[in-house]
Chains A and B, each alone.
Chain A
Amino acid sequence: MDKVILKVFRGDSNGGTEQDYEVPTFEGMVVLDAIHYIQINLDSTLACRWNCKAAKCGSCSAEINGVPRLMCKTHVSDMAANGRPIVVHPLKTFPVIRDLVTDVSWNYRNSEKIKPLQLAPDAPKPLVMQQMDVDRIQEFRKCIECFLCQTVCHILRNHNVKEQFYGPRQLIKLANLDMHPYDALDRREMIRKEAGVGFCNITKCCTEVCPEHIHITDNGIIPLKERVADEYFDPIQHLIRKLSGADKKKK
């Protein structure tokens, strides 16, 4: 295969077309290379967002052959099997600005609503943490905010209930804070109400697309659902807490 056809969405929120481009290929070529080839040689007006070309900045998210992926991490040879054209669309869950560029600011606005770490008064000074206490949350900190999980999540994508559900990315941010050994806040109410963890039906598409291979559902969302169950759905634990006068925030 020395050439490949790319079908790229060109347009904005008012409408657009899929435009065909023929691009020569080379060994190890990724979709972002093909997009760059188009920009340099065929059409310099094609808009796309990118930065690192190393799957670390999270800017080049797009929908390639219908599945959300990073353009810089997706090999042309994997996508163009049997000489089929490669279809490149912008993220479908967020408003399109132009061509492959979407407005993902909704995610940042929700992120701002999550209170940062509040150190507990009994936290050691200087703050030295044991590996066993941070093992779990380190996984969540690998997030590169590519928002592939947000765009694939059917709650946002198909049902579009953005007012009631923050999406998987923000849920693992909340998990990172709630599981922190020295965070003083009890975040369960927010996790249940504003962030809407109950909306997630654990169908795991977020986990399937995460380029950092974060186990978003198994290690983040399900543990949060269990924490919410402790607080709101477990009469036995409720009684034990009442009788022992235990603090709401567990250590």
Chain B
Amino acid sequence: MALNTAQSKEAGRVPLPINSRKDTWWIKPLLVFLGLSTFGIYATWRAFENRYYSWGPYLSPFYSPFLVIHIGHFAISPALLILPFPLIFRMTCYYYRGAYYRAFFWDPPACAVEEPAARKQYTGESRFPFTIQNLHRFAFYIAVIFIAILAADAIIAFDFNGHFGMGLGTLIMVVNVLLLSFYTFSCHSFRHLIGGALNCYSCSRSGKTRFRIWQRISLANERHMLFAWLSLFTVGFTDLYIRLVSAGIIHDVRFF
């Protein structure tokens, strides 16, 4: 059986099909596809719903900061104004980039697997519009502002009509902002800005300090993918919980 049937884009290459993997390589891109699509559909629906976003001291992270802009009689959902920022942050995140290039663009769907459509010319992130990915650091700066706002929301969530209290919603909001912080501060751009850009750490006192911070951030950065998924889940779950309580479908559990 002659095998010289498949690709040979370059003279002299092995006359064999590129993909001879027989394992379940497709599971990972499928899970990523389902995970991101589910979140995308849920978040879009919630952004347009424009109600059930708060209850007692709780405010959904999709609707914070709560800015209402009116055009004539029509009030634009605050979520529509807010969600683009976290969306851009995640879209330009190094982890998510790799994940959606695989799961959505199939470029490649998995390692050592043939790509479905042979593109005429591959340029990766070297040509517009993908060069925009290089601006990820600016999305990071904005994300830090959002962390501060969500932290303030989590603190307010302890204030039940002037009494210090705590409900399940409070706990969920606190956990959410913590995981979002881990995700945000394990960012590759932050790791670079805080110390990665330096070549000689020992050359100055500030360099030594930056080295120590860089080491810590690097440890967190190794788990960036984990934080990316956990925080995506908690931010959606926080919104869902507040929506259910606000719509009267479930009751908040009050601890004290």
Contacts and interface: CB of A to CB of B under 8 A. Distances in A.
B50 interface: no
Which applies to chain B's interface (DSSP): helix, strand, loop or mixed? loop
Contact of A9 (B9, B16, B23, B94): B16
| Size category, A interface | 35 or more
B203 A16 contact: no
B249 interface: no
A199 B1 contact: no
Interface in A109-158: 130, 132-133, 152, 154-155, 157-158
B11 A222 contact: no
A212 interface: no
| Size category, B interface | 35 or more
Nearest to B125: A198
Contacts of A16: 2-4, 15-16
Contacts of B37: none
B112 A202 contact: no
A39 interface: no
A230 B198 contact: no
B11 A13 contact: yes
A90 B111 contact: no
A21 to B, nearest CB: 15
B221 A218 contact: yes
- Max count, chain B CB within 10 A of own CB: residue among A84, A162, A198: A198
B111 A208 contact: yes
Nearest to A205: B111
A51 interface: no
B114 A158 contact: yes
B14 A92 contact: yes
Given A66-B20, A90-B14, A132-B201, A155 B124 contact: yes
A217 B202 CA distance: 25
B13 interface: yes
Nearest to A131: B202
A203 B15 contact: no
Nearest to B21: A66
Interface in B181-236: 188-189, 191-192, 196-204, 207-208, 211, 221-222
A251 B203 contact: yes
Interface string A153-168: 0110111111010000
Contacts of B101: 201-203
A181 B12 contact: no
B239 interface: no
16 contacts: A15-B4, A17-B2, A65-B22, A65-B23, A84-B22, A89-B16, A96-B12, A96-B13, A155-B122, A158-B108, A158-B114, A223-B192, A225-B134, A226-B192, A230-B197, A251-B200
Interface of B: 1-4, 9-16, 18-23, 94, 97-98, 101-102, 107-108, 111-112, 114-115, 118-119, 122-127, 130-131, 134-137, 188-189, 191-192, 196-204, 207-208, 211, 221-222
